[in-house]
Amino acid sequence: MYKENNLSKNQQIIFDLIDKSSEPLKAYTILFSVQKKGIKAPPQVYRALDKLVETGKIHKIESKNAFVACRNSNCEISKATAFSICESCEMVDEINDAKLTKYLTNFSDKKGTKYKRFNLEFFGLCKKCK
Amino acid sequence: MYKENNLSKNQQIIFDLIDKSSEPLKAYTILFSVQKKGIKAPPQVYRALDKLVETGKIHKIESKNAFVACRNSNCEISKATAFSICESCEMVDEINDAKLTKYLTNFSDKKGTKYKRFNLEFFGLCKKCK
DNA sequence: TACATAGTGTTATATTATAACAATTTTGCA
DNA sequence: TGCAAAATTGTTATAATATAACACTATGTA
Ligand SMILES: [Zn+2]
Ligand SMILES: [Zn+2]
Ligand SMILES: [Zn+2]
Ligand SMILES: [Zn+2]
């Protein structure tokens, strides 16, 4: 079963839920939603989330402790993530901007250090809320 | 007492602790450290932290749930923050790069939306750990 | 003084996340 | 095919992070 799509049963259930959601989902919201499917305890949810984040299927919105499905081509396996977050309605959109990604991926600080990963969160008002 | 430096007693105690620290501090680490000074309960710590974040004296490192003192000129009151985070030793440095700030402050997405605030976290290895 | 705003102290509780252990399923490969 | 390693699952308990609610005190300004 695992081979077919490389997601395990719990991972698939939880990914489907996140993928269908129009807003970021929190771990315990997910837990309550999937209890009817037999996922009953927090570790089951967190383990699936960890794996999905690791493989770039989902991203964690750090400022919200919530998870969204990746809408890009897996963000070079999550080395370069950027989001816009509405401060009014909580909406989150993944930003897919090649120039921005390039700029930040190539960024080096004053000591000349380059970084191998970044996460960027923009805050403001979405179109609806403006 | 408040007027002298615009920080209240608890705010000053907690700011001093964070400011002197060479690494990000977590709320409960702070709580344990200041109990001898009479700050005994989580809400006292979180309220001070909230105010210090709000006024730009400290920043929250979202990926670590920890707090650092601002090392810039208060980051235009925390509208534009960027950090480098070592994945090995946990060290965090605030990035102060005018070009980067300008680039991101002026960034507008494909729909032309501009954002009023951002937080950027870079991950990699610091000089020591490389 | 008197009022509004900000800060404090306290108890309890909500929310987010992991440790630890036993069992089963899947996978890669001899 | 058959076996061991790796991944996944299930479960209980607990750790770590954060807020609600309420009573009270200090401060700034009119
Ligand atoms: Zn993505
Ligand atoms: Zn909105
Ligand atoms: Zn700063
Ligand atoms: Zn380091």
Q: Provide the residue range defining the domain that includes B58.
A: 9-69
pLDDT tens-digit map of B43-77: 999 999 999 999 999 999 999 999 999 999 867 77
Domain presence at residue B99: yes
Q: Cβ atoms within 10 A of the Cβ of A10, count?
A: 18
Domain presence at residue B64: yes
**pLDDT score, position A75:** 77
Q: How confident is the model at residue B2 (pLDDT cuts 50, 70, 90)?
A: very low
Q: How confident is the model at residue A1 (pLDDT cuts 50, 70, 90)?
A: very low
* Residue the block writes with tokens 């839920």: A17
Q: What is the mean pLDDT of residues A29-58?
A: 97
Residues B94 and B60 in one domain: no
Report which of A86, A108, A84 is spatially closest to residue A97, judged by C-alpha positions.
Answer: A84
Domain presence at residue A2: no
SS3 content of chain A, % helix, strand, coil (to 5): 40, 20, 40
Helices B9-20 and B42-54, axial angle in degrees (round to 10): 80
Q: Report chain C positions within 7 A of protein CB atoms.
A: 6-13, 15-20, 25-28
Look at the pTM and tell me if it is higher than 0.75.
yes
Sort out which chain B residues have CB atoms less than 8 A from A106's CB and list them: none
How many independent structural domains does chain A possess? 2
Beta-bridged to residue B93, according to DSSP, are: B84
**pLDDT score, position A102:** 96
Pairing relationship of beta strands B117-124 and B80-86 according to DSSP bridges: parallel
* Secondary structure of residue A94 in the 3-state scheme: strand
Q: What is the mean pLDDT of residues A39-66?
A: 97
Q: In Å, how far are A29, A122, A123, B47, B109 from B114, measured between CA atoms?
A: 31, 9, 9, 31, 7
Closest residue of chain B to A118, computed from CA coordinates: B122
